[in-house]
Amino acid sequence: MSLIAITREVSPGINDCELSYHGREPIDVAKAIAQHKAYQDCLTELGLQVVALPAEPELPDSVFVEDPAIVLDEVAVIMRMGARSRRPEASSLVNALAPYRSLEFLTEPATMDGGDVLRVGRSIFVGLSRRTNREGVSQLSKLLQGHGYTVTAVEVKGCLHFKSACSYIGNQTMLVSRSWLTAEQLAGFDLLDVPGQESSAANVLRINETIVMPASFPRTRALLEKRGFQVHPVNVSELQKAEAGVTCCSLIFKSDLPLA
Q: Which residues are catalytic?
A: 161, 248
Beta bridge partners of residue 117, listed in sequence order: 126
Residue 85 in contact with residue 50, Cβ under 8 Å?
Answer: no
Reference 125, options 73, 82, 70, 162; nearest CA is 162
Closest-CA residue to 2 (of 259, 245, 255):
255
Integer Cα distance of 42 and 51 in angstroms: 13
For residues 116 and 77, the answer to whether their CB atoms sit within 8 Å is no
Q: Give me the phi and psi of 27, to 5 degrees please.
A: -105, 125
Work out the number of other CB atoms within 10 angstroms of the CB of residue 260: 5
